Structure 1
Amino acid sequence: MSMGADYSSEAAAATAAPKTAEARVLTVLGLETSCDETAASVVRQMPDGAVQVLSSVVHSQIAEHAPFGGVVPEIAARSHVEAIAGTVRRAMEQSGVDFEGLDAVAATAGPGLVGGVMVGLSFGKAVALARGIPLIAVNHLEGHAVSARLAAPAPYPFLLLLVSGGHCQLMEVRGIGHMTRLGATIDDAAGEAFDKIAKTLGLGYPGGPALEKLAATGDGARFDLPRALLGRKGCDFSFSGLKTAAAKLAATCETDQDRADLADAVQKAIARQLTERSARAMDDYGTRHEHRLLVVAGGVAANRTVRTELERAATACGFEFMAPPLAYCTDNAAMIALAGAERLALGLVSDIDVAARPRWPLDEATALADPLYKTGRKGAKA
């Protein structure tokens, strides 16, 4: 299936039944440059679906962005240009595979910081042309959706909570290219709330891990934070009110213990909302599917409190629970390579002129029919 400038055909196909994958060994080079990490990985998928991660190399830009308290797009793009060739070389060397042994190259084509996305996608095009192998343009969010499958079997369909710095969505995942949104944030994402509240508390970048570390010594019971959308039907999320309330409380913190207590309160409040809305989705999903599996993926899935609370909720709802290993929660290229291998098995390859996309919803067929997709609602745009 072509994935050139017009994506309408793929959006329409997402409403059809999933194709049957061709059973053969597939070895794919994956490239990820959507934000502030340059990553390359070689993944091999076996005919029975088993996955071997032959290499996974990540070049972090944390030191370059730390002085600014967040990601600077221009710095990120320049760093990707400087790091991409060396990162790919290391990934190929570690894998023990040469370029002639690749079946395809998969590269993130969006969503993300478009300058960075263009770097990885352009490099992928160069590899495809030079080696005469297929190019597969991968949605970064689709990579997160399959990331749990890197370590253990996660048979389709499953319920997915995709929660990261820029995205917070509940999806019904029936297969590659066949995903339906059940809920999404109506304002800020959970990871964005973590990072911005951490910045308000004067913590370092990246803020999410710093806030989690501080929260370990805190007692969140001291602070009463709002519970957004409590009792509201549906599975949407909202974190802007929590972010605003936490910012006001941060201004009153006088000691390190005050800050630790607020950090703990924030972490528990975010975990509580993710759990409450996911439980609603599980109730709905469970009425339609015999196999009940909740998968949580994305950078926030690395937070131990979030994982623990979601696993507890899944058990209470009669669901199995899966999350990727910590190394595959944050941005990485192994998940892109796996998504590429699954697409290749279905014959879903890309035109060489496929364009980078700053926005690219997983459920494009639904999003294109949603007026909010063009008017700014984050859940519709992501």
Structure 2
Amino acid sequence: MSFIFITLGTCLIVSDTLVPRVARRLSLTKHPNCSTLSGGQAIELLARSGDRRKFPFRTPMGRIYDCCFSFAGLRSQITMSIMKKEAEEGIEQGTLLSCVNDIAAATQHTVAVHLAKRTHRAILFCKENGLLSSEDPILVMSGGVASNQYIRKTLTVLTEKTGLRLLCPPPRFCTDNGVMIAWNGVERLREGKGILSPNEDVCYEPKAPLGVDISAKVRTAGIRLPSGRMKISF
């Protein structure tokens, strides 16, 4: 059986970059519960006891009806909110804010909603164009973002609503993409597959395309999502 990869949307500014930057901007390594955690882990931990409603960040690209992701606008919103709170509390950058839990919760929630909305549109497009399997269609999420349980829950709600099944690796395998690529190299070296001699010329692409890009077609379709809110609870 052969498979054809189709690109419905691309990541302009990815969440794996946004969340660590927010954690650094909040100086979460100074938090007693986060000193040994990565940025993503720190945000997820603090978000559990935060109130996301105190920082109602707007979901990015709300009026662009395609499947591309971008967190640039969200990053600006978060940065402005942090600067405003620092001024209100009379502290300098590098000092922990009293509301870090709330900012973490709002950041995590907005990222999850953005991912869910773009994915929802992708699912609807695939259904309209017969691109999904009629038997047990699956949505796969992997990489560092898949280790976040809140995002997993959000996409679980979405897949249950749309008749798909969410499949994610165990959290311990949801690591940085660079680590996964390097590990793939380790396995290939062990098996002796795809190994070139030092004398062979190698051509590489800094950003290799994946399959056929039909993101323009998705944008032209202009699919609007049905109204309604997803309830996410733990």
Superposition TM-score, scaled by structure 2 size: 0.70
Relative to structure 1, is the Cα distance of residues 358 and 197 closer, same or farther in structure 2, using a 3 angstrom cutoff? farther
Q: CA deviation at 1:284?
A: 1.6
1:303 and 2:144 matched: no
Per-residue deviation at 1:250?
1.2
Work out which of the residue numbers 213, 219, 227 in structure 1 matches 2:59.
227
Partner residue, 1:336: 184
**Secondary structure in structure 2 of the residue aligned to 1:294:** strand
- Once the two structures are superposed, the pairs formed by residues 170-209 of structure 1 within 5 Å of their partners are 174=3, 178-186=4-12, 188-204=13-29, 206-209=38-41
The equivalent residue for 1:276 is 117
SS of residue in 2 equivalent to 1:183: coil
In structure 2, relative to structure 1, the CA distance for the partners of 1:356 and 1:327 (3 Å cut) is: farther
1:239 aligns to 2:84 (yes or no): no
What corresponds to 1:94 in structure 2?
none
Deviations 1:48-101 (A, max 9, x none): xxxxxxxxxxxxxxxxxxxxxxxxxxxxxxxxxxxxxxxxxxxxxxxxxxxxxx
SS of alignment partner, residue 163 of structure 2 = coil
Q: Calculate the aligned-residue CA RMSD, in Å.
A: 3.1
In the TM superposition, what is the alpha-carbon distance from 1:209 to its structure 2 partner?
A: 1.1
**Per-residue deviation, 1:210:** 1.2
Residue 264 (structure 1) aligns with: 105
CA contact (8 A) 1:218 1:257 kept: no
Q: Whole-Å Cα distance in 2 between the matches of residues 277 and 268 of structure 1?
A: 14
Cα distance in 2 for partners of 1:301, 1:356 equals 31
Letter in 2 for 1:360: K
User: Of 126, 131, 134, which aligns to 1:285?
Assistant: 126
4+ residue runs over 2 A deviation: 253-257, 331-341, 348-358, 364-367
Within-5 A mapping of 1:58-137: none
TM-score (normalizing by structure 1): 0.44
8 Å Cα contact 2:43-2:104 kept in structure 1: yes
**C-alpha separation between the residues in 2 aligned to 1:324 and 1:258?**
33
The 8 Å contact of residues 218 and 262 in structure 1, kept in 2 or not, is answered as: yes
Q: What residue in structure 1 maps to residue 47 of structure 2?
A: 215
Residue 117 (structure 1) aligns with: none
Match of 1:360 among 202, 207, 215: 207
Residue 259 of structure 1, CA deviation? 1.2
For 1:356 and 1:256, how far apart are their aligned partners in 2?
Answer: 48
Q: Which amino acid aligns with 1:185?
A: C
2:170 maps to which of 325, 333, 349: 325
Which structure dedicates a bigger proportion of its chain to strand? 1
Cα distance 1:277–1:366, how it changes in 2: closer, same or farther (>3 A)?
closer
- In structure 2, the gaps of 5 or more residues are 30-36, 90-95, 215-234
Aligned AA for 2:206? Answer: R
The one-letter code sitting in structure 1 at the alignment partner of 2:106 is: A
- Give 1:225's aligned amino acid: F
Q: How far apart, CA to CA, are the structure 2 residues paired with 1:197 and 1:328?
A: 23
Deviations 1:273-313 (CA, angstroms, capped at 9, x unpaired): 00000011111223422241100011011011111001110
Separation (CA, whole Å) in 2 of partners of 1:297 and 1:262: 25
Structure 1: tracts of 5 or more residues without a match: 1-16, 19-173, 368-382
Identity in percent? 24
Shift of the 221–359 alpha-carbon distance from structure 1 to 2, 3 Å rule, reads same
Residues of 2 paired with 1:263 and 1:337: CA distance?
35
- Determine helix, strand or coil for the equivalent of 1:297: coil
CA distance in 2, matches of 1:356, 1:327: 33
Report deviation, 1:335. 6.7
Q: Is the 8 A contact 2:142 2:174 kept in 1?
A: yes
2:82 aligned residue: 250
Cα deviations by residue, 1:111-158 (Å, 9 ceiling, x for unpaired): xxxxxxxxxxxxxxxxxxxxxxxxxxxxxxxxxxxxxxxxxxxxxxxx
Amino acid at match of 1:361: A
Contact 1:219–1:264 (CA<8 Å) still a contact in 2?
yes
How many residues get paired? 188
Contact 2:61 2:70 in 1 (8 A): yes
Contact 1:184–1:235, Cα closer than 8 Å, also in 2: yes
Residues 229-254 of structure 1: CA deviation (Å, up to 9, x unaligned) = 11422101110010011011112154
Tell me the CA shift for residue 337 of structure 1. Answer: 6.9
CA, structure 1 residues 324+339, in 2 after alignment: closer, same or farther (shift >3 Å)?
Answer: farther
Is residue 294 of structure 1 aligned with residue 139 of structure 2? yes
Pairing 1:23-42 to 2, within 5 Å after superposition: none
